[in-house]
Structure 1
Amino acid sequence: MAASASASSSSSQVPCEKYDVFISFRGSDTRYGFLSHLMKELRRKNIDVFVDYRLERGDEISSALVKAIEGSMIALVIFSKDYASSKWCLEELVKIIECKEANQQIVIPVFYGVDPSDIRHQKGTYAKAALHDEEKFNDKVEIWRSVLKKSANLTGYDLSNFQ
């Protein structure tokens, strides 16, 4: 798959080509289970996918990641138990919702082991993450809460009982 090979060859640049799908996920929850099976099937179907395996983590989402999100036709957001505990995931989600609203990018939420209403109303692990973040990132918490709610209101796949 050309896009994946290109993305793996450089950790700081994303090729100009568009991806079919950008996947946002919390690695510790899904990387070696659900995500690996999903990636195998997408590759089998020759779907160009961008997954942020090789990008450096930091305080700000990198320009390479922004370009990958902007250059994707579809954003697949895998909401898992600890998705909201990652500032990086929340910042990805902000950019994804911006692209949906500005460019009509298709956003498909997948609720993996979490109830969509927990995300919509920030209950359970999503309440804990938001409260923790409020102490550190009070200027961003309202934006994060808003994009979580918008995302959870989209039609997606509820795999809340699948683990």
Structure 2
Amino acid sequence: MTANQASSSSSSKLWKYDVFLSFRGEDTRKGFTSHLYAALKDRGYQAYIDEDDLKRGEQIKEELFRAIEEARISIIVFSKRYADSSWCLDELVKIMECREKLGREVLPIFYDVDPSLVRKQEGCLAEAFQKHEDGIREEKDDKQREAKEERVKQWREALTQAANLSGHHLQNSANGHEAKLIKKIVDENIREWLPRITQLDVAKHPIGIDYRIQDIICHLIHGGSPDDVVIVGIWGMGGLGKTTAANAIYNKIHHKFQFKSFLADVRDTARKFGLVYVQEKLVSDILQETTKFQINSVNAGISVIKQHL
């Protein structure tokens, strides 16, 4: 296998995760990071979060490194004590390596630390690196000391590179409002990098479709008050492109809704598989279940749908 073939093989592999979250557990696990993780899951993204505060070993480290390689995007939540953790810094080096070699996207979040401090390793980060370097000086073995010096050098370079990337500073991006920042991350950054998640195939050559559906989209989004239910009917003979238009409309607006479902060919599907099948599909989509929700009868399905809608 040539180098080009190896690169192509790596870039074409199936993704396992949409997002990898790097953070210091003691700082943000029960707050910002957990809320960000929940928001990503609510939008249907596959996010990796290290939920275990177990004793860390090489086996766990390799698992985390694989998760970084298999994620399209890495989000780094820089907190004041992030650099205290050699584990977090090793993750960061791997993340930046995957950005350079595999073209992964990286989004730094400066939670309660200024980007300039991360970039220059000053302030609270200087204190952390002082401890790391004290550990190097205490090393008796020359080879071990050289290895640790190289490791610290990699940490510093990775921090500088990450801090130079476009990201979000909690105080500047959302004036300290965590919920607003999380919404911005999920609805803007992630959507930009993963635009086709849950999207439907429209047509082989969808020329001019955007112009033709614009009025319908405006009506759906702005056609009533926020509490109104807006319905649009698309009428026409078979083969005119009604389903194509519906697919395109869904692709344009689905990201604006936390819960959504696209039910195609309802009449034919219900005739072939039964109405319960359609009900199960609707509820599974809304609850974002990985397996189909079980409904015993049409009447039971009506009750379940009323409950969730």
The TM tier, using the shorter chain, reads: 0.7 to 0.9
Q: Write out per-residue CA displacement over residues 12-69 of structure 1, whole angstroms, 9 at most, x where no aligned residue.
A: xxxx851000000001110111012111111110110001113651368622111100
| Superposed displacement of residue 97, structure 1 | 0.5
Using structure 2 for the length normalisation, give the TM-score: 0.46
Q: CA RMSD in A?
A: 1.9
Could you say which residue in structure 2 is the equivalent of 1:89? 88
Q: Secondary structure at the match of 1:155?
A: coil
In the TM superposition, 1:35-114 aligns within 5 A as: 35-54=33-52, 56-58=55-57, 62-114=61-113
Q: Write out per-residue CA displacement over residues 100-145 of structure 1, whole angstroms, 9 at most, x where no aligned residue.
A: 0001100000000100000001111111111111122433111100
- Contact 2:15 2:71 (8 Å CA) reproduced: no
Could you say which residue in structure 1 is the equivalent of 2:17? 19
Q: Secondary structure at the match of 1:134?
A: helix
Q: Which runs of 5+ in 1 are unaligned?
A: 1-15
Could you say which residue in structure 1 is the equivalent of 2:29? 31
33-42 or 143-152: bigger deviation: 33-42
Cα distance in 1 for partners of 2:159, 2:91 equals 11
Q: Secondary structure at the match of 1:138?
A: helix
Q: Runs (4+) of structure 1 moved beyond 4 Å?
A: none
- Contact 2:107 2:165 (8 Å CA) reproduced: yes
- Contact 2:20 2:47 (8 Å CA) reproduced: yes
Q: Secondary structure at the match of 1:100?
A: helix
Bigger Rg over Cα: 2
Q: Write out per-residue CA displacement over residues 78-102 of structure 1, whole angstroms, 9 at most, x where no aligned residue.
A: 0001000000000000100000000
Cα distance in 2 for partners of 1:17, 1:128 equals 38
Could you say which residue in structure 2 is the equivalent of 1:5? none
Using structure 1 for the length normalisation, give the TM-score: 0.84
Q: Secondary structure at the match of 2:150?
A: coil
In structure 2, relative to structure 1, the CA distance for the partners of 1:102 and 1:121 (3 Å cut) is: same
Alignment identity in percent?
47
Cα distance in 2 for partners of 1:129, 1:36 equals 25
Q: Which runs of 5+ in 2 are unaligned?
A: 1-13, 136-147, 179-309
- Contact 2:18 2:47 (8 Å CA) reproduced: yes
Relative contact order (alpha carbons < 8 A, sep ≥ 6): 1 or 2 greater?
Answer: 1
Query: What amino acid is the match of 2:36?
Result: L
- Contact 1:61 1:91 (8 Å CA) reproduced: no
Cα distance in 2 for partners of 1:60, 1:47 equals 26
- Contact 1:24 1:92 (8 Å CA) reproduced: yes
Could you say which residue in structure 2 is the equivalent of 1:154? 165
Cα distance in 1 for partners of 2:150, 2:18 equals 33
In structure 2, relative to structure 1, the CA distance for the partners of 1:131 and 1:56 (3 Å cut) is: same
**Structure with more of its chain in strand, by fraction:** 1
Cα distance in 2 for partners of 1:153, 1:60 equals 31
